[in-house]
Amino acid sequence: MGPTQLPASTSPTLTLAHPTVAETQQIWSQTSDIWTDALSVPQYLEEYAYLLTVPLARDHGITQWILVDSLDKPTVPANDLNGREGTRRILASCETFRKRALLANRLASDDTKNRCTDILVHGVASVFCDPQLRGRGYASRLFKELSHILPQWQAGEVEKPRGVGSVLYSDIDPAFYKRQGWVPFPSYHLEFEPVQLEHTAEPLYAENLASLCQRDEEILRASMSSPSTMGDRGKTRFAIIPDHDHMLWHHAKEEFGAHKLFGGSKKPEIKGAIAGPAGNRVWAIWMHRFYRHPQGNDSAANTLYILRLVTETPSPASESIRAVLRAAQSEAANWGLGKVKLWNPPRDLEEAIRASGVKFEKKKREQDSVPCLNWFGEESPDEMEWVLNEKYAWC
């Protein structure tokens, strides 16, 4: 089918489908130039397949979508009922992650608490349109179809209400996604220098994280249920739960990359740091991201991301914050990473970091992982407060 035979983006025969195995391989190959980071193309293809098997993605946690013409049949006859061996012209593609989340509404009849509800949110990722097909409206049609499907998608597979929202992280002008219904939210991060510093924090290892994530969820649920933690305008609040599966997905990615880049000689065993007495602890869970080869001239792009920074009480000790952040700076220096980033800390936590004496730069992101929200509930995104808009939820 030549360019003159391409269907219009408004064609009623366009539909969302799930890719065959061959089509999935085709998408991964086409996107490899964009998303390989420091890996070779074969390593990237191997990583992509591996990440489908880890928590957050496995057991239908991830769904792959393609926009195709329903009249376009697979070019190779199917060997099974799923047409696994066939390929069609893929007009646009993406994937979605199923995420557990919380929604907090003020109870009109009781001002002493909120109604905190478990919900589903779908994270949209890996949006792609072949450069030869761009400018024809296919990506917009993809999002239009998603908007119809996602509110009910997987609602019967888990013991939760239907999905009521979708998030994505824009690496282009977010105005495009806003036109599709995904409204950009404030996006900034604190950036810390990688440097060896003395600190009193204890390292966190993989076996420490499950219990800390459970404690974090308990704190979040209590906070979401309390009107005293509502935003200044009493907005409806939602938060993606920072559960262990989210951390495991990020750590699977970092461990795969480190294994390929260092040949098994160096492993990112330290997953974070913790300081302070029980009941008033501060901890960070982080991941190492290798955008460029560690031995290359542009390795300064490599980053230690603080996936989640937790304070067990609203009044954390400055020395505990300082110890944990210094541990992150030291970890980045040990690995030769160019920077440490903490996404969107709440205002009171940012002030506590400033009071701790740890130096940082505050930077706004305008075309780099800008968080966007499409809300399928009664409220508009402008009426929503996105709680814990941190790196762990990125996909």
Domain boundaries along the sequence of the chain: 14-186, 189-368
Q: Kindly tell me if the per-residue pLDDT of 47 is higher than 80.
A: yes
The answer to whether 342 and 377 have CB atoms below 8 angstroms apart is no
> Widest CA span of the chain, in angstroms?
68
What's the CA gap between 362 and 352, in Å, rounded?
14
163-164-170 Cα angle (round to 5): 100
Range list of β-strands (E), the chain: 14-17, 62-69, 92-106, 114-128, 163-170, 183-184, 188-192, 202-204, 236-240, 272-275, 282-289, 303-311, 339-343, 361-364, 370-375, 384-387
Distances, alpha carbon 355 to alpha carbons 193, 194, 317, 350, 388, in Å: 17, 20, 10, 9, 21
The answer to whether 152 and 122 have CB atoms below 8 angstroms apart is no
3-state secondary structure of 86: coil
The interaxial angle of helices 41-51 and 244-262, nearest 10 deg, is 160
* Residues in the chain, overall count: 395
3-state secondary structure of 255: helix
* Count of CB atoms situated within 10 Å of the CB of 155: 14
Q: Kindly tell me if the per-residue pLDDT of 348 is higher than 70.
A: yes
Q: Would you state the pLDDT for residue 80?
A: 45
The answer to whether 302 and 273 have CB atoms below 8 angstroms apart is no
Q: Is the dihedral of CA 349, 352, 358, 361 positive or negative?
A: positive
What's the CA gap between 251 and 273, in Å, rounded?
15
Element (H, E) at 221: helix 209-224
Q: Would you state the pLDDT for residue 112?
A: 53
3-state secondary structure of 279: coil
Question: Per-residue confidence at 230, pLDDT binned at 50, 70, 90?
Answer: very low
370-373-375 Cα angle (round to 5): 175
Phi, psi torsion values for 149, nearest 5 degrees:
-90, -40
Distances, alpha carbon 34 to alpha carbons 39, 93, 97, 254, in Å: 11, 14, 20, 18
Domain 14-186: top CATH class: alpha beta
DSSP per residue, 41-73: HHHHHHHHHHHTTSTTTTTTTEEEEEEEETT--
Q: Do 14-186 and 189-368 have matching folds?
A: yes
Domain 189-368: top CATH class: alpha beta
Q: pLDDT of 269-288, one tens digit each?
A: 999 999 999 999 999 999 99
Question: Per-residue confidence at 110, pLDDT binned at 50, 70, 90?
Answer: low
Q: Would you state the pLDDT for residue 87?
A: 83
DSSP per residue, 182-215: -EE---EEEEE--------PEEE-GGGHHHHHHH
Q: Would you state the pLDDT for residue 382?
A: 85
Question: Per-residue confidence at 289, pLDDT binned at 50, 70, 90?
Answer: very high
Q: Would you state the pLDDT for residue 247?
A: 99
The answer to whether 305 and 390 have CB atoms below 8 angstroms apart is no
Q: Would you state the pLDDT for residue 78?
A: 44
The mean predicted confidence, pLDDT, of the chain is 91
What's the CA gap between 306 and 324, in Å, rounded?
11
3-state secondary structure of 31: helix
Q: Kindly tell me if the per-residue pLDDT of 137 is higher than 80.
A: yes
The answer to whether 282 and 320 have CB atoms below 8 angstroms apart is yes
Q: Kindly tell me if the per-residue pLDDT of 83 is higher than 50.
A: no
Q: Kindly tell me if the per-residue pLDDT of 295 is higher than 90.
A: no
What's the CA gap between 230 and 316, in Å, rounded?
20
Phi, psi torsion values for 214, nearest 5 degrees:
-65, -45
